Structure 1
Amino acid sequence: MNKVSFTIIIFFFSTVICLSAQQNNEFWDHVRFGGGIGLSFGDGFFSGTLAPSAIYEIDQNFAIGLGLNGTINNQKNVYKSTILGGSIIGLFNVINEIQLSSEFEQLHVKRNYDESLNIENDTYWSPALFIGAGYRSGNVTFGLRYDLLYDKEKSIYIDPWAPFVRFYF
């Protein structure tokens, strides 16, 4: 797909969404935006993540949504990586304070190793299927999730268990 076709498609969908929003404000009353920002650095290491997301609250108990993920990592004299992808999320509030979640994430990973290491560069897709539970207070949920598809060799996460903090406004 060339740039012109891509631009036309994006313009078309943006116009349809804007017209739909003007005709149906009730839809947007159920949409919540959130996501995460990550920053990590240390002895020659840097990692930055931007992960916006949006959910549609079907009712007080159920919500579904989409997310994007962009991460850059750099370990001095070892590697540089770029990770881009997206996710589909489902949320269920058992009671107002307890939230269960499932999330399928698909990330494209590109790692370039320092030439001195003589390691072949890597490009691959990394899927993850998380199930999680958290404590919810207002717009914030704190919890723990587990990756059912965890692959020690290919996952971008060090462990299948991961704590999370989720914000939606």
Structure 2
Amino acid sequence: MKKNTFNALAKSVLLTLFLVIPLSGFSQEPSSSKAETEGFWDNVQFGGGLGVAIGNDFTDITIAPSAIYNFNEHFALGSGLQYSRLKQKNLFASNVLGANLIGLYNPLEEIQLSLELEQVHVNTTYVDLFNNAKRSFWNTGLYVGGGYRADNVTIGARFNLLFDKDKDLYGDALMPFVRIYF
């Protein structure tokens, strides 16, 4: 797909999400919403991710706590932090530190759509025979996603609209996820 066609498609998807999702929140509901009848902390959920991958001289440890505020049964907004340490013996070592903002929309109880902005800073040291080369950069991701939700767990995939294979931290624009909030 040509880059101009892809950019036009990405802009159309974003415009649709920003126009359609907020408008559906004004559907007929009782005059007192969940947020009005309960305290602030009753509408907050905490969660995130914890990942460990170890094998054949490779280590990947990720800690990603997050929190969301549920405005009602359909809409939530939140933020999170992320730290990852990746190391391949005699090849590279990398630290990734950043934050994200996420908006969640549940049109049905079992379906969750998301829009997420992620900003991370990457510090990588590559090892070779003569010296260590270092690379430090910022990586921005704008993800649209969808998944199947059962209680407090959502399994799905997200697509990075800003993905650039030559500059991106991740190897692909499409990424699976498991999202858990308590």
Say yes or no: TM over 0.5: yes
3-state SS, counterpart of residue 136 of structure 1: strand
How far the C-alpha of 1:40 sits from its partner, in A, is 1.1
Counterpart in the other structure of 1:84? 97
Counterpart in the other structure of 1:74? 87
What amino acid is aligned across from residue 54 of structure 1 in structure 2?
A
Task: Give yes or no for contact 1:106–1:127 (8 Å, CA) kept in 2.
Answer: yes
Counterpart in the other structure of 1:20? none
Counterpart in the other structure of 1:101? 114
Task: Give yes or no for contact 1:130–1:145 (8 Å, CA) kept in 2.
Answer: yes
Q: C-alpha separation between the residues in 2 aligned to 1:167 and 1:117?
A: 45
How far the C-alpha of 1:153 sits from its partner, in A, is 2.6
**2:63 paired residue among 50, 54, 76:** 50
Note the residue ranges of structure 1 that are not aligned, 5 or more in a row: 1-24
The alignment status of 1:125 with 2:141, answered yes or no, reads no
After superposition, what is the alpha-carbon deviation per residue over 1:45-64, rounded to whole angstroms, capped at 9, x for unaligned? Answer: 11000000000001110000
Counterpart in the other structure of 2:163? 150
Q: C-alpha separation between the residues in 1 aligned to 2:79 and 2:96?
A: 17
The percentage of aligned residue pairs carrying the same residue is 48
How far the C-alpha of 1:119 sits from its partner, in A, is 6.2
Q: C-alpha separation between the residues in 1 aligned to 2:87 and 2:70?
A: 37
Q: C-alpha separation between the residues in 1 aligned to 2:173 and 2:130?
A: 28
TM-score with structure 2 setting the length: 0.76
Note the residue ranges of structure 2 that are not aligned, 5 or more in a row: 1-37
What amino acid is aligned across from residue 120 of structure 2 in structure 1?
L
Instruction: Pick which of 43-52 and 112-121 moved more.
Output: 112-121
Q: C-alpha separation between the residues in 1 aligned to 2:55 and 2:119?
A: 27
Q: C-alpha separation between the residues in 1 aligned to 2:141 and 2:130?
A: 29
Number of residue pairs the alignment of both structures matches: 145
Counterpart in the other structure of 2:53? 40
TM-score with structure 1 setting the length: 0.82
Task: Give yes or no for contact 1:31–1:56 (8 Å, CA) kept in 2.
Answer: yes
**1:141 paired residue among 154, 164, 168:** 154
Q: C-alpha separation between the residues in 2 aligned to 1:154 and 1:52?
A: 26
After superposition, what is the alpha-carbon deviation per residue over 1:24-55, rounded to whole angstroms, capped at 9, x for unaligned? Answer: x7000000000001111221111000000000
**2:40 paired residue among 11, 18, 27:** 27
Task: Give yes or no for contact 1:78–1:117 (8 Å, CA) kept in 2.
Answer: no
How far the C-alpha of 1:118 sits from its partner, in A, is 5.1
Distance 1:42 1:108, change over 3 A: same
- Please identify runs of 4+ aligned residues in structure 1 that moved more than 6 A: none
Q: C-alpha separation between the residues in 2 aligned to 1:149 and 1:141?
A: 23
Counterpart in the other structure of 2:24? none
3-state SS, counterpart of residue 29 of structure 1: helix
